[in-house]
Amino acid sequence: MTFNLLHGRSTHDGTVDAARLAAAVTALDADVLALQEVDRAQSRSGHLDLTAIAAQALDAPTHRFVAAVVGTPGEGFRPGTHDEPRVLLAAVLQTPTGPLTAGVTHLSFLPGWNARQLRQAVRALRALPPPRVLLGDLNLPAGVAGLVSRWRPLGRRATYPTAHPRVQLDHVLADRHGSSLSRVASVGTPRSAISDHRPLVVDLA
């Protein structure tokens, strides 16, 4: 599952509440959870560690937080791009059927720049064992992400905005090379009490 958290903020009351975040994540019951717009020690989210709260809610054996921005989000930009830095976090997971490489990223909203970042991300993931998946808010519509990456979209559902989704910005892509991830049992975009995005949930048979 991939979920842009909007730093845990509710669009109903504009606040961030640890218990509400934990309840939202618990209800989603994901085996692999890729989060974006996640805060740690930020005043706008009550100085909470949102990754740790989500991991505890899922009773996850391990979790990782990687900061794309040090300081207050929105106040610093990369010279020449008018955009914040972006990162790719990758993990090789041990599953009952063997290793699985999972990457997560949140790409730029700038057209062209996000496509370039996506190509860089899939090249980086190719250095890790197959099968490989890339999850995240790619800021690209359905179809374009698959075309640019040449990876297979595992779920096509509108995810934004949360009240009445009209466009898919959030994706789960599978590498076509060496991939055994072809049997998709179900795809869902359940409503959540937090964020302006809906989570994208892909269940693999």
Residue ranges of domains in the chain, CATH in brackets: 2-70+84-204 (3.60.10.10)
Q: pLDDT tens per residue, the chain (205 residues)? A: 999 999 999 988 999 999 999 999 999 999 999 999 999 999 999 999 999 999 999 999 999 999 988 877 767 555 556 788 899 999 999 988 889 999 999 999 999 999 999 999 999 999 999 999 999 999 999 899 999 999 999 999 999 999 999 999 999 999 988 667 768 999 999 999 999 999 999 998 8
Collapsing DSSP to helix, strand or coil, 57 comes out as helix
Would you put residue 92 in left (φ > 0), alpha (ψ -120 to 50) or beta? beta
What lies within 8 Å, CB to CB, of 113 at 6+ separation is 81, 83
Report the DSSP beta bridge partners of residue 100: 93
pTM: 0.94
Residue 79 confidence (pLDDT)? 54
What is d(CA 149, CA 46) in angstroms, rounded to the nearest whole number? 37
22-36 per-residue burial string, b: 16 or more CB within 10 A, e: under 16: bebbeebebebbbbb
What lies within 8 Å, CB to CB, of 29 at 6+ separation is 58
